[in-house]
Amino acid sequence: MVNTTPKWEDELGRWLKPFLDRLGHKARRRMCPLYISGLIGPGDRKSVQPMAARLAPGDYDQLHHFIADGVWDAAPLESELLVQADRLVGGSDAVLVIDDTAMPKKGDRSVGVAPQYASSLGKTANCQTLVSLTLARGEVPVMVALRLFVPESWTSNPVRLKRAGVPVEHRAARTKPEIALAEIDRVMAAGMRFGCVLADAGYGLSAPFRQGLTTRGLAWAVGIPRHQKVYPVEVKLIWPVAGRGRPRKRHIPDILSRAAEDMLANAKWQNVSWRNGTKGRLEARFAAIRVRTADGPPQRIKDMGQQHLPGDEAWLIGEHRTSGEKKYYLANMPAEMNLRTLAATIKARWICEQAHQQLKEELGLDHFEGRSWQGLHRHALMTMIAYAFLQHRRLAQAGRKKKNQRSTASAEPAGRTPSHRRSHRSTTTSAMPVL
Protein backbone atom coordinates (compact mmCIF):
# COMPACT_ATOMS: atom_id res chain seq x y z
CA MET A 1 0.00 0.00 0.00
CA VAL A 2 1.27 3.48 -0.85
CA ASN A 3 1.73 5.68 2.18
CA THR A 4 -0.35 8.81 1.59
CA THR A 5 0.29 10.41 4.99
CA PRO A 6 1.34 14.06 4.39
CA LYS A 7 4.91 14.83 5.28
CA TRP A 8 3.94 17.44 7.88
CA GLU A 9 2.00 14.86 9.89
CA ASP A 10 5.06 12.61 10.09
CA GLU A 11 7.11 15.61 11.18
CA LEU A 12 4.45 16.59 13.72
CA GLY A 13 4.61 13.14 15.32
CA ARG A 14 8.37 13.42 15.79
CA TRP A 15 8.20 17.01 17.05
CA LEU A 16 5.46 16.19 19.58
CA LYS A 17 7.43 13.36 21.22
CA PRO A 18 8.62 15.39 24.28
CA PHE A 19 5.03 16.57 24.82
CA LEU A 20 3.64 13.05 24.54
CA ASP A 21 6.27 11.73 26.94
CA ARG A 22 4.82 14.11 29.53
CA LEU A 23 1.24 12.93 28.90
CA GLY A 24 1.94 9.31 29.88
CA HIS A 25 -1.33 7.44 29.22
CA LYS A 26 -1.44 5.84 25.77
CA ALA A 27 -5.00 7.05 25.02
CA ARG A 28 -3.96 10.65 25.71
CA ARG A 29 -0.80 10.10 23.66
CA ARG A 30 -3.03 9.17 20.72
CA MET A 31 -5.63 11.91 21.15
CA CYS A 32 -3.16 14.80 21.48
CA PRO A 33 -1.60 14.45 17.97
CA LEU A 34 -5.07 13.84 16.54
CA TYR A 35 -6.41 17.06 18.07
CA ILE A 36 -3.42 19.12 16.94
CA SER A 37 -3.63 17.63 13.43
CA GLY A 38 -7.26 18.74 13.34
CA LEU A 39 -6.27 22.29 14.28
CA ILE A 40 -3.55 22.47 11.62
CA GLY A 41 -5.37 20.63 8.83
CA PRO A 42 -8.05 21.94 6.47
CA GLY A 43 -11.58 22.76 7.56
CA ASP A 44 -13.53 25.89 8.44
CA ARG A 45 -14.39 24.84 11.99
CA LYS A 46 -11.79 23.68 14.51
CA SER A 47 -14.11 22.57 17.31
CA VAL A 48 -14.18 18.94 18.46
CA GLN A 49 -17.09 17.56 16.44
CA PRO A 50 -16.05 18.74 12.94
CA MET A 51 -12.41 17.82 13.59
CA ALA A 52 -13.40 14.32 14.68
CA ALA A 53 -15.67 13.96 11.64
CA ARG A 54 -12.76 14.85 9.33
CA LEU A 55 -10.03 12.81 11.01
CA ALA A 56 -11.53 10.00 13.08
CA PRO A 57 -15.34 9.69 12.95
CA GLY A 58 -15.34 6.86 15.47
CA ASP A 59 -13.24 8.74 18.03
CA TYR A 60 -15.46 11.74 18.76
CA ASP A 61 -16.23 10.68 22.34
CA GLN A 62 -12.55 10.04 23.13
CA LEU A 63 -11.44 13.31 21.54
CA HIS A 64 -14.11 15.25 23.45
CA HIS A 65 -13.16 13.50 26.70
CA PHE A 66 -9.48 14.26 26.13
CA ILE A 67 -10.02 18.00 25.79
CA ALA A 68 -13.00 18.61 28.11
CA ASP A 69 -13.22 16.00 30.84
CA GLY A 70 -10.09 13.86 30.94
CA VAL A 71 -8.18 13.68 34.23
CA TRP A 72 -4.73 14.94 33.26
CA ASP A 73 -2.55 17.87 34.27
CA ALA A 74 -1.83 20.50 31.62
CA ALA A 75 1.14 21.95 33.54
CA PRO A 76 3.76 19.50 32.16
CA LEU A 77 2.71 20.31 28.59
CA GLU A 78 2.76 24.04 29.36
CA SER A 79 6.30 23.62 30.70
CA GLU A 80 7.39 21.74 27.58
CA LEU A 81 5.90 24.51 25.43
CA LEU A 82 8.17 27.01 27.22
CA VAL A 83 11.18 24.79 26.56
CA GLN A 84 10.37 24.51 22.85
CA ALA A 85 9.57 28.21 22.50
CA ASP A 86 12.87 29.15 24.11
CA ARG A 87 14.69 26.75 21.79
CA LEU A 88 13.01 28.35 18.75
CA VAL A 89 13.22 32.08 19.48
CA GLY A 90 14.53 32.60 23.03
CA GLY A 91 17.56 34.74 23.75
CA SER A 92 18.72 38.10 25.01
CA ASP A 93 17.49 39.72 21.78
CA ALA A 94 13.98 38.25 22.16
CA VAL A 95 11.01 40.19 23.54
CA LEU A 96 8.11 39.03 25.70
CA VAL A 97 4.89 40.76 24.61
CA ILE A 98 2.00 41.09 27.08
CA ASP A 99 -1.44 41.62 25.57
CA ASP A 100 -4.93 40.17 25.57
CA THR A 101 -7.32 38.93 22.92
CA ALA A 102 -11.12 38.82 22.98
CA MET A 103 -13.27 36.00 21.62
CA PRO A 104 -16.93 36.95 20.97
CA LYS A 105 -19.32 34.46 22.53
CA LYS A 106 -23.09 34.15 22.73
CA GLY A 107 -25.00 33.40 25.92
CA ASP A 108 -23.78 33.68 29.50
CA ARG A 109 -22.88 30.09 30.47
CA SER A 110 -19.40 29.81 28.94
CA VAL A 111 -16.69 30.51 31.53
CA GLY A 112 -15.70 34.17 31.81
CA VAL A 113 -18.08 35.45 29.16
CA ALA A 114 -19.41 38.95 29.84
CA PRO A 115 -19.84 42.31 28.10
CA GLN A 116 -16.24 43.53 27.71
CA TYR A 117 -14.29 45.78 25.39
CA ALA A 118 -13.02 43.77 22.41
CA SER A 119 -10.18 45.58 20.62
CA SER A 120 -10.59 43.35 17.55
CA LEU A 121 -14.18 44.64 17.22
CA GLY A 122 -13.47 48.16 18.47
CA LYS A 123 -16.43 48.06 20.83
CA THR A 124 -17.88 46.40 23.92
CA ALA A 125 -19.25 42.96 23.15
CA ASN A 126 -20.21 39.72 24.87
CA CYS A 127 -16.92 37.85 24.88
CA GLN A 128 -14.19 35.97 26.72
CA THR A 129 -10.82 37.69 27.20
CA LEU A 130 -7.52 35.82 27.35
CA VAL A 131 -4.34 37.44 28.68
CA SER A 132 -1.54 36.41 26.34
CA LEU A 133 2.26 36.17 26.53
CA THR A 134 4.16 35.97 23.24
CA LEU A 135 7.87 35.27 22.95
CA ALA A 136 9.24 36.77 19.73
CA ARG A 137 12.55 37.35 18.02
CA GLY A 138 12.70 39.33 14.80
CA GLU A 139 9.44 38.60 13.01
CA VAL A 140 8.85 35.14 14.48
CA PRO A 141 6.39 34.96 17.41
CA VAL A 142 5.57 31.92 19.56
CA MET A 143 2.60 32.16 21.90
CA VAL A 144 3.56 30.76 25.31
CA ALA A 145 0.61 31.57 27.61
CA LEU A 146 -3.13 32.20 27.39
CA ARG A 147 -5.01 32.74 30.66
CA LEU A 148 -8.66 33.66 31.02
CA PHE A 149 -9.52 36.98 32.65
CA VAL A 150 -12.50 36.40 34.95
CA PRO A 151 -14.74 39.53 35.18
CA GLU A 152 -16.32 40.76 38.40
CA SER A 153 -19.73 39.47 37.30
CA TRP A 154 -18.20 35.99 37.67
CA THR A 155 -15.91 36.37 40.68
CA SER A 156 -18.84 37.72 42.70
CA ASN A 157 -20.93 34.60 41.96
CA PRO A 158 -19.47 31.43 43.58
CA VAL A 159 -22.20 29.20 42.14
CA ARG A 160 -21.42 30.34 38.62
CA LEU A 161 -17.69 29.78 39.14
CA LYS A 162 -18.20 26.27 40.50
CA ARG A 163 -20.55 25.32 37.67
CA ALA A 164 -17.92 26.33 35.07
CA GLY A 165 -15.20 24.40 36.91
CA VAL A 166 -13.03 27.41 37.73
CA PRO A 167 -10.24 26.18 40.06
CA VAL A 168 -10.42 27.54 43.60
CA GLU A 169 -7.11 29.39 43.22
CA HIS A 170 -8.51 31.34 40.24
CA ARG A 171 -11.83 32.38 41.75
CA ALA A 172 -10.60 35.56 43.43
CA ALA A 173 -10.77 38.75 41.38
CA ARG A 174 -7.51 39.51 39.55
CA THR A 175 -6.75 42.31 37.13
CA LYS A 176 -5.19 41.61 33.75
CA PRO A 177 -1.84 43.09 34.89
CA GLU A 178 -1.90 40.80 37.94
CA ILE A 179 -2.54 37.77 35.72
CA ALA A 180 0.29 38.89 33.41
CA LEU A 181 2.78 39.22 36.29
CA ALA A 182 1.87 35.73 37.56
CA GLU A 183 2.49 34.30 34.09
CA ILE A 184 5.79 36.20 33.80
CA ASP A 185 6.87 34.58 37.06
CA ARG A 186 6.02 31.17 35.60
CA VAL A 187 8.01 31.64 32.38
CA MET A 188 10.95 33.11 34.28
CA ALA A 189 10.97 30.15 36.68
CA ALA A 190 11.16 27.87 33.63
CA GLY A 191 14.30 29.68 32.46
CA MET A 192 12.81 31.13 29.28
CA ARG A 193 15.14 33.80 27.85
CA PHE A 194 14.10 37.28 26.72
CA GLY A 195 15.58 40.74 26.90
CA CYS A 196 12.61 43.06 27.28
CA VAL A 197 8.90 43.05 28.21
CA LEU A 198 6.50 44.99 25.97
CA ALA A 199 2.86 45.89 26.62
CA ASP A 200 0.20 48.32 25.43
CA ALA A 201 -1.40 51.11 27.44
CA GLY A 202 -3.97 48.73 28.94
CA TYR A 203 -1.11 47.34 31.03
CA GLY A 204 1.30 50.29 30.97
CA LEU A 205 -1.09 52.60 32.79
CA SER A 206 -0.83 50.33 35.85
CA ALA A 207 1.91 51.59 38.17
CA PRO A 208 1.93 48.27 40.11
CA PHE A 209 2.52 46.44 36.81
CA ARG A 210 5.48 48.66 35.84
CA GLN A 211 6.88 48.46 39.36
CA GLY A 212 6.40 44.68 39.35
CA LEU A 213 8.49 44.39 36.19
CA THR A 214 11.21 46.58 37.69
CA THR A 215 11.23 44.60 40.93
CA ARG A 216 11.81 41.45 38.87
CA GLY A 217 14.85 43.07 37.28
CA LEU A 218 13.25 43.23 33.83
CA ALA A 219 13.69 45.81 31.09
CA TRP A 220 10.34 47.07 29.82
CA ALA A 221 8.66 49.43 27.35
CA VAL A 222 4.93 50.01 27.71
CA GLY A 223 2.24 52.21 26.26
CA ILE A 224 0.63 54.86 28.46
CA PRO A 225 -2.34 57.24 28.09
CA ARG A 226 -1.53 60.79 27.02
CA HIS A 227 -2.57 62.16 30.41
CA GLN A 228 -0.15 59.92 32.37
CA LYS A 229 1.67 62.19 34.84
CA VAL A 230 5.46 62.48 34.87
CA TYR A 231 8.06 64.80 36.39
CA PRO A 232 11.04 66.46 34.75
CA VAL A 233 14.15 64.41 35.43
CA GLU A 234 15.69 67.26 37.45
CA VAL A 235 12.84 67.28 40.02
CA LYS A 236 14.00 67.52 43.63
CA LEU A 237 12.30 66.67 46.89
CA ILE A 238 12.28 69.63 49.27
CA TRP A 239 11.18 70.14 52.85
CA PRO A 240 8.07 72.36 52.81
CA VAL A 241 7.93 75.29 55.15
CA ALA A 242 4.64 75.46 57.02
CA GLY A 243 3.13 78.95 57.03
CA ARG A 244 1.10 78.04 60.07
CA GLY A 245 0.11 75.01 62.06
CA ARG A 246 2.26 71.98 62.72
CA PRO A 247 5.57 71.42 60.87
CA ARG A 248 5.35 69.27 57.75
CA LYS A 249 6.51 65.65 58.10
CA ARG A 250 7.15 64.70 54.45
CA HIS A 251 9.14 66.06 51.53
CA ILE A 252 7.37 67.35 48.43
CA PRO A 253 8.62 67.81 44.84
CA ASP A 254 9.79 71.28 43.91
CA ILE A 255 8.07 70.95 40.49
CA LEU A 256 4.55 69.74 39.82
CA SER A 257 3.97 66.70 37.61
CA ARG A 258 2.66 67.18 34.07
CA ALA A 259 0.76 65.10 31.54
CA ALA A 260 2.95 63.11 29.14
CA GLU A 261 1.66 64.92 26.06
CA ASP A 262 2.42 68.32 27.65
CA MET A 263 5.91 67.23 28.66
CA LEU A 264 6.73 66.31 25.06
CA ALA A 265 5.05 69.34 23.46
CA ASN A 266 8.33 71.24 23.01
CA ALA A 267 10.58 68.20 22.49
CA LYS A 268 12.67 67.62 19.38
CA TRP A 269 10.74 65.34 17.01
CA GLN A 270 12.51 63.26 14.38
CA ASN A 271 11.50 60.98 11.54
CA VAL A 272 12.47 57.45 12.51
CA SER A 273 12.26 54.28 10.38
CA TRP A 274 12.45 50.96 12.22
CA ARG A 275 11.86 48.14 9.68
CA ASN A 276 10.56 47.14 6.25
CA GLY A 277 6.84 46.57 5.91
CA THR A 278 4.80 45.10 3.06
CA LYS A 279 4.54 48.59 1.51
CA GLY A 280 8.08 49.79 2.17
CA ARG A 281 9.88 51.25 5.15
CA LEU A 282 7.79 51.89 8.26
CA GLU A 283 8.37 55.29 9.79
CA ALA A 284 6.84 57.91 12.06
CA ARG A 285 7.93 60.96 14.04
CA PHE A 286 9.34 60.22 17.48
CA ALA A 287 10.61 62.22 20.43
CA ALA A 288 12.09 60.99 23.71
CA ILE A 289 13.16 62.66 26.94
CA ARG A 290 14.24 61.40 30.35
CA VAL A 291 11.62 61.83 33.09
CA ARG A 292 10.67 60.46 36.47
CA THR A 293 7.37 58.63 36.67
CA ALA A 294 4.68 60.01 38.96
CA ASP A 295 3.93 56.71 40.65
CA GLY A 296 5.38 57.19 44.13
CA PRO A 297 3.18 57.41 47.24
CA PRO A 298 0.39 60.01 47.07
CA GLN A 299 1.16 63.24 48.95
CA ARG A 300 -0.74 66.50 49.47
CA ILE A 301 1.28 69.32 47.91
CA LYS A 302 0.45 72.80 49.20
CA ASP A 303 -2.95 73.79 47.86
CA MET A 304 -2.74 71.50 44.79
CA GLY A 305 -4.36 68.50 46.42
CA GLN A 306 -2.80 65.03 46.37
CA GLN A 307 -0.22 64.08 43.76
CA HIS A 308 1.96 60.99 43.40
CA LEU A 309 5.57 61.62 44.32
CA PRO A 310 8.37 61.07 41.79
CA GLY A 311 9.28 57.46 41.11
CA ASP A 312 12.06 55.91 39.05
CA GLU A 313 13.78 57.58 36.12
CA ALA A 314 12.64 56.38 32.68
CA TRP A 315 12.31 57.32 29.03
CA LEU A 316 9.13 59.14 27.98
CA ILE A 317 8.61 58.53 24.26
CA GLY A 318 6.07 60.06 21.91
CA GLU A 319 5.01 58.85 18.47
CA HIS A 320 3.17 60.90 15.83
CA ARG A 321 1.90 58.61 13.09
CA THR A 322 1.27 59.66 9.51
CA SER A 323 -2.44 59.03 10.14
CA GLY A 324 -2.40 61.82 12.73
CA GLU A 325 -2.70 59.40 15.66
CA LYS A 326 -0.48 60.12 18.68
CA LYS A 327 0.88 57.49 21.07
CA TYR A 328 2.95 57.71 24.25
CA TYR A 329 5.23 55.23 26.01
CA LEU A 330 7.40 54.75 29.09
CA ALA A 331 10.54 52.60 29.07
CA ASN A 332 13.16 51.86 31.71
CA MET A 333 15.86 51.45 29.06
CA PRO A 334 19.41 52.76 29.65
CA ALA A 335 19.83 56.52 29.42
CA GLU A 336 22.37 56.17 26.60
CA MET A 337 19.97 54.31 24.27
CA ASN A 338 19.36 56.13 20.97
CA LEU A 339 15.96 57.13 19.60
CA ARG A 340 15.87 54.61 16.75
CA THR A 341 16.56 51.69 19.09
CA LEU A 342 13.85 52.92 21.47
CA ALA A 343 11.37 53.18 18.59
CA ALA A 344 12.27 49.76 17.17
CA THR A 345 11.87 48.15 20.60
CA ILE A 346 8.47 49.74 21.16
CA LYS A 347 7.20 48.80 17.71
CA ALA A 348 8.23 45.14 18.15
CA ARG A 349 4.96 44.72 20.07
CA TRP A 350 2.96 44.48 16.82
CA ILE A 351 4.00 40.86 16.37
CA CYS A 352 1.55 39.62 19.02
CA GLU A 353 -1.36 40.93 16.96
CA GLN A 354 -0.21 38.77 14.05
CA ALA A 355 0.00 35.77 16.38
CA HIS A 356 -3.54 36.39 17.73
CA GLN A 357 -4.91 36.62 14.20
CA GLN A 358 -3.19 33.42 13.06
CA LEU A 359 -4.26 31.48 16.15
CA LYS A 360 -7.88 32.41 15.44
CA GLU A 361 -8.03 32.30 11.66
CA GLU A 362 -5.67 29.37 11.02
CA LEU A 363 -5.90 27.26 14.18
CA GLY A 364 -9.38 27.95 15.56
CA LEU A 365 -8.50 29.47 18.94
CA ASP A 366 -11.97 31.01 19.12
CA HIS A 367 -13.81 27.91 17.80
CA PHE A 368 -14.05 26.02 21.10
CA GLU A 369 -17.71 25.31 21.90
CA GLY A 370 -17.40 24.03 25.46
CA ARG A 371 -18.22 26.05 28.56
CA SER A 372 -15.69 24.89 31.15
CA TRP A 373 -12.47 26.47 32.38
CA GLN A 374 -10.56 23.25 31.84
CA GLY A 375 -11.79 22.69 28.29
CA LEU A 376 -11.10 26.28 27.21
CA HIS A 377 -7.54 26.29 28.57
CA ARG A 378 -6.73 22.86 27.13
CA HIS A 379 -8.00 23.93 23.72
CA ALA A 380 -5.94 27.13 23.96
CA LEU A 381 -2.88 25.06 24.93
CA MET A 382 -3.33 22.77 21.91
CA THR A 383 -3.53 25.79 19.58
CA MET A 384 -0.30 27.19 21.07
CA ILE A 385 1.49 23.86 20.62
CA ALA A 386 0.25 23.68 17.02
CA TYR A 387 1.45 27.24 16.43
CA ALA A 388 4.89 26.48 17.88
CA PHE A 389 5.16 23.46 15.55
CA LEU A 390 4.34 25.63 12.54
CA GLN A 391 6.96 28.17 13.58
CA HIS A 392 9.46 25.29 13.96
CA ARG A 393 8.74 24.31 10.33
CA ARG A 394 8.91 27.92 9.20
CA LEU A 395 12.35 28.43 10.75
CA ALA A 396 13.61 25.11 9.43
CA GLN A 397 12.49 26.00 5.90
CA ALA A 398 14.08 29.45 6.19
CA GLY A 399 17.32 27.80 7.33
CA ARG A 400 17.29 25.38 4.39
CA LYS A 401 16.62 28.26 1.99
CA LYS A 402 19.57 30.25 3.35
CA LYS A 403 21.81 27.17 3.14
CA ASN A 404 20.79 26.60 -0.49
CA GLN A 405 21.44 30.26 -1.32
CA ARG A 406 24.92 30.03 0.19
CA SER A 407 25.61 26.81 -1.72
CA THR A 408 24.44 28.40 -4.99
CA ALA A 409 26.54 31.51 -4.38
CA SER A 410 29.67 29.46 -3.62
CA ALA A 411 29.16 27.46 -6.83
CA GLU A 412 29.23 30.61 -9.02
CA PRO A 413 32.50 31.00 -10.99
CA ALA A 414 34.74 33.79 -9.73
CA GLY A 415 33.99 37.14 -11.32
CA ARG A 416 30.72 35.95 -12.87
CA THR A 417 27.57 37.97 -12.19
CA PRO A 418 24.75 35.77 -10.87
CA SER A 419 21.80 35.49 -13.24
CA HIS A 420 19.32 36.42 -10.48
CA ARG A 421 19.76 39.16 -7.92
CA ARG A 422 19.38 37.88 -4.39
CA SER A 423 16.31 39.25 -2.67
CA HIS A 424 16.91 41.33 0.45
CA ARG A 425 13.50 40.53 1.86
CA SER A 426 13.58 38.69 5.19
CA THR A 427 13.01 34.97 4.86
CA THR A 428 10.75 35.15 7.93
CA THR A 429 8.09 37.49 6.61
CA SER A 430 5.62 34.81 5.48
CA ALA A 431 3.06 34.06 8.17
CA MET A 432 3.03 30.23 8.10
CA PRO A 433 4.11 27.46 5.75
CA VAL A 434 1.34 26.19 3.52
CA LEU A 435 0.28 22.76 4.78
pLDDT reading at 347 higher than 60? yes
pTM of the model: 0.89
- Position 121 scores a pLDDT of 77
**H helix or E strand, kind and range, residue 115:** strand 114-118
Binned at pLDDT 50, 70 and 90, residue 91 comes out as very high
Binned at pLDDT 50, 70 and 90, residue 221 comes out as very high
Asked if residue 192 lies in contact with residue 144, where contact means CB atoms within 8 angstroms, the answer is yes
- Position 244 scores a pLDDT of 60
- Position 168 scores a pLDDT of 96
Summarize pLDDT for 124-157 with one digit per residue, the tens. Answer: 999 999 999 999 998 899 999 999 999 999 999 9
- Position 246 scores a pLDDT of 56
Indicate if the alpha-carbon torsion angle 422, 424, 427, 433 is positive or negative: negative
Binned at pLDDT 50, 70 and 90, residue 243 comes out as low
Summarize pLDDT for 280-308 with one digit per residue, the tens. Answer: 788 999 999 999 999 887 777 665 667 78
Q: What is the mean pLDDT of residues 89-95?
A: 96
Q: Kindly give the interhelix angle for 26-40 and 48-55, rounded to the nearest 10 degrees.
A: 100
Mode of pairing for the β-strands spanning 123-137 and 95-104 = antiparallel
Average per-residue pLDDT for the chain: 88
The answer to which of 34-43, 176-185, 232-241 has the lowest mean pLDDT is 232-241
- Position 3 scores a pLDDT of 47
Binned at pLDDT 50, 70 and 90, residue 47 comes out as very high
Buried b (16+ CB within 10 A) or exposed e, 186-198: bbbebebbbebbb
Binned at pLDDT 50, 70 and 90, residue 277 comes out as confident
Binned at pLDDT 50, 70 and 90, residue 103 comes out as very high
220 dihedral zone (left: phi>0; alpha: psi -120 to 50; beta): beta
CA–CA distance, 180 with 184 (Å, rounded to integer) = 6
Summarize pLDDT for 382-422 with one digit per residue, the tens. Answer: 999 999 999 999 999 887 777 666 665 555 444 433 333 33
